[in-house]
Structures are given as C-alpha cells and as structure tokens.
Amino acid sequence: MHRSVLTGLIVLTSAAALATGFGLKPGLWEMHLLKQVSDGHDMSAQVAAAGAQMEQMLANMPADQRARVEAMMKQNGAPSIGSNGTIRMCISPEMANRDTPIVDREGHCQPSAVNRSGNRTTFEINCKTKSGDMTGKGESVSTGDLITTKVDATTHDASGATHVMHTESELKYLGADCGDVKPITPPK
C-alpha cells in the first residue's frame, strides 16, 4: 500500500473516531473501524491487518522494550491499541463538554458546519492541515453508550495526490475509569 494512502487512511480513521463530538462522556471509549474505503477500494482488511501487525510487533518485543515503546506512545498522546485492532481512548471532561465535533486530534481541522437533530449530528469538513487539504461530510448517531460515525472525505496530500475515502466506525463507552490511558484534551 502506498505510504501516502496509508497515512490518509490513518488520519481519516482518527477523524472518524473523533468526529462524534456529541454523545461523548468522560471516560474510556473503544473505537472499532467497521469499514474503510479508499479510492473505491475496500481497505478494511488491510487497516485491520496493520493494527493486528502492530499488536503482534509489540507482543514480540522484549518486555522492557515494549514498556518503553508503550510509554513513548502514551506520552505523545497516542491512543491505546486494544484487542482485535480496536483503539482505546480516554475522553477528558473538557473534550466531552465541547460543542463542536473534533475532526483531528491536533485541532488543525475544525468542521465548517455542524447540525444537530436529536441523537444525530451532521458536519462538514473543509480545512488545511500539515499533511494537506480535506473536504467532506460526516454523520454521527449516538445511542446510549454507542456512537456510530460515517465520514466521506476527499484529501489532497502534500504531493498533490487526491484520495476519496469513506469510513464507518463505532465508539463504545467502556466506563468512567481510563486506567493508564492518557486523556485526550481539546485543541486550543
């Protein structure tokens, strides 16, 4: 898989996970990627395999090396990899109280429009980030402790390549205690 496509998939997967903004409550959440389509190709299996490969690489490391890598990931705010390629993230009270969906973890990409109706939130994306431009739209539906999100986006990376992506994911609330997973704080 071309590196820029993989980077775009990871960015969009993160966007799908964080684009909900509404229905979130403070605590530990687990994101599961349901579908990832890039340029008309279903990449769900490759994205899941990359997550499983990362888990396997960590599992094969000597304990001290694994502890250093995991500590470095946590220090840099990387989400925790759970079982079956899921991603665990701790939502801070500040992030849960936001009134705007977060499209990227660094806060460089804010939604250009947000509409809410009951448990459904729709949003539009039109922004520039370090890695390129992104336009698109998304929808999140909150049902109790489960939030499902669909995002359709077009990215233009720094090399000038254009990619059209569709992502579907779900966030499941695991509880108020985040354990050792570092909270995500809202961008400034």
pLDDT of the residue at 11:
46
pLDDT band at 101 (very low <50, low <70, confident <90, very high): low
Nearest to 175 by CA among 79, 78, 91, 58: 91
pTM (predicted TM-score): 0.72
**pLDDT per position as a tens digit, 30-41:** 888 888 898 999
pLDDT over threshold 90, residue 125: no
3-state secondary structure of 59: helix
pLDDT at 174 over 90: yes
- DSSP secondary structure, 2-51, as one string: -HHHHHHHHHHHHHHHH---SS--SEEEEEEEEEEEETTEE-HHHHHHHH
Confidence of residue 150 (pLDDT cuts 50, 70, 90): very high
CA–CA dist 67, 73 (Å, integer): 10
User: What tokens appear for 39 in the block?
Assistant: 């340029």
